[in-house]
Structure 1
Amino acid sequence: MTQPDGAHLRGQLLSATTAERVQALHQLTLWAAEVADPALQRDLDAFVARGLPYFAPDSLGYQAWVAKATALTERVVSAPRRTAGTAASSGSARGPRPERLRLARAMACG
Structure 2
Amino acid sequence: MTFTASLGSAGSSTVLHLAGRLTDADVRTLRTLVDQAVGSAPRRLLVDANDLEALVPAGVRCLAFAQQHLAPGTEMVIAGASEDLRQALARAGLTESMTVVTATATATAAA
TM-score normalised according to structure 1 size:
0.28
Greater gyration radius: 1
More helix by share: 1
